[in-house]
Amino acid sequence: MNYDAWFECELGCTYPLNEIIYRCKNCDGLLQVKHNMDALKQRSPEDWKTLFEQRYMRTEYPYGSGVWGKKELVCPIIDNENIISMYEGGTNLFWAERFGDQLGLTDLWIKQCGNSHTGSFKDLGMTVLVSMVNQIMRESGDIRAVMCASTGDTSASLAAYASAAGIPAIILLPKEKVTREQLIQPIANGALTLSLETDFDGCMAIVQKLAARKEFYLANSINSLRIEGQKTISMEILQQFNWKIPDWIIIPGGNLGNVSALGLGFLMMRELGIIDKLPRIACAQAERANPLYRSYQTDFTEFKAITAQSTQATAIQIGNPVSIHRAIRILKEFDGIVDQATEEELADAAARADRTGLFNCPHTGVALAVLIKMVERKQIQPDDRVIVISTANGLKFPDFKVGYHNVISNQPPPTYLNLPHELEADYETVLKQIDNHLGS
Ligand SMILES: *Cc1c(COP(=O)(O)O)cnc(C)c1O
Ligand SMILES: [Zn+2]
């Protein structure tokens, strides 16, 4: 039996993965990638684990990648020579021993997905999408460029993979709503970078219209190929824990593709018999961009798109998430919860955890703030194994970090403030300052 995968809508209409299509022609529903599970089940759970272990972080191209090491479960129909990989995945699972200790937890881990080629988890999905575009272009040549709307990280990732492949990239960004670091990434990679006077949802509306022209291939997460790569987050976490299931996973959510991917990865592992139960999932939103949280308050019976307000967690400043329905389905299946964090809570949580060796981006701050609330509510028990998904590298968000460690007149200083001291270049003065700090 052959490994195979295709796009499929809710009603069962199917399309090949190399067709340029994002919604079903019959019912307009989102398409999901489906696999020939019977073929995958021919291999025993033990044999799958052995295969994944043999490949993990080795050099045999492309299998050392955390994504392509699971190629059969991700996208079996791509020829290896069409794969554009930068050895994504394989990220550190940081044992947050000191931070956990402060919260009364013994088994707290931070999955550092931002330790990646372009500094965010977006690389996991983008390698799959750009590889497929590469394959389509080699087969038929119908695509002129690949494009996306972005809150900053998707565009950085798309630009990097597209330029590695030699494919033109078009990037639509909300003007002044991404960091300088995120803006310079696609520019450096040679992408056509369009900075629009709108928010992310406004960019998304335009890019969806452009996508009606098949010559512009859409790289947003409405395209399920990205979800297939991001699914490997769950597979990799399991692998790093010797295939033992954690109790809770906390993940920040904006467009809600990543929380959907996380769940789909676990469901696939369960179907293949690699695990026999599921973790619980908590999705963390910024209070200023919280449409999923509001829906959760109605037990998911209602959902209303909102206009997201400005938040430091810019990558999740989204009011009309494209993957809302699949995310709700996943959260129900995983007995999930949704919680939110204020601007102060997310900044303090990031800074507090930074004091224990991390360097958190604001979105990870949102997840950490929700973690603290769940511990306070005793929703998380002291010996629960908890994993926080850190979605980007803190180095991409210097204004967030610098802005925190700063005193603004007439405002109370932040709780974890640490200011540099400007001193004369004088030995005695320096020693005195050190003694003062350490307490002599
Ligand atoms: C994209 C992104 C998210 C949100 O992921 P979604 O799939 O949109 O929910 C969170 N954090 C960072 C840093 C991101 O780049
Ligand atoms: Zn359909």
Task: For a ligand 1 pocket test, name from 121, 200, 325 the mutation site with the most ligand atoms within 8 angstroms of its C-beta.
Answer: 121
Mean pLDDT confidence for 89-118 = 98
What is the whole-number distance in angstroms between the Cα of residue 252 and the centre of ligand 1?
7
Rounded-to-integer distance, Cα 243 and Cα 56, Å: 14
Q: Are 195 and 1 in contact (CB under 8 A)?
A: no
Write down the CATH number for the domain with range 93-118+227-402.
3.40.50.1100
The torsion region of residue 300 among left (phi > 0), alpha (psi -120 to 50) and beta comes to left
Buried b / exposed e along 272-297 (16+ C-beta atoms within 10 A): bebbeebbbbbbbbbbbbbbbbebbe
User: Percent of the chain beyond pLDDT 70?
Assistant: 100
Torsion of CA 270, 274, 277, 278, to 10 degrees: -70
Q: What is the pTM of this model?
A: 0.96
What is the whole-number distance in angstroms between the Cα of residue 151 and the centre of ligand 1?
8
- 301 pLDDT more than 70: yes
**Which residues 6+ apart lie within 8 Å of 96 measured at CB?**
108, 109, 110, 353, 356, 358, 388
In degrees rounded to 5, what are phi and psi of residue 120?
-150, 165
Rounded-to-integer distance, Cα 166 and Cα 437, Å: 53
pLDDT (tens digit, 9 = 90+) per residue, 145-171? 999 999 899 999 999 999 999 999 999
pLDDT (tens digit, 9 = 90+) per residue, 3-22? 999 999 999 999 999 999 99
Amino acid 21: pLDDT: 95
- How is residue 228 written in tokens? 């297939």
Task: For a ligand 1 pocket test, name from 391, 393, 397, 400 the mutation site with the most ligand atoms within 8 angstroms of its C-beta.
Answer: 391
What is the whole-number distance in angstroms between the Cα of residue 257 and the centre of ligand 1?
8
Mean pLDDT confidence for 368-396 = 98
Q: Where are the domains of the chain?
A: 93-118+227-402
Name which residue sits closest to atom 15 of ligand 1, judged by CA: 153
Task: For a ligand 1 pocket test, name from 259, 262, 363, 370 the mutation site with the most ligand atoms within 8 angstroms of its C-beta.
Answer: 363
**Which residues 6+ apart lie within 8 Å of 165 measured at CB?**
84, 130, 133, 134
Amino acid 178: pLDDT: 85
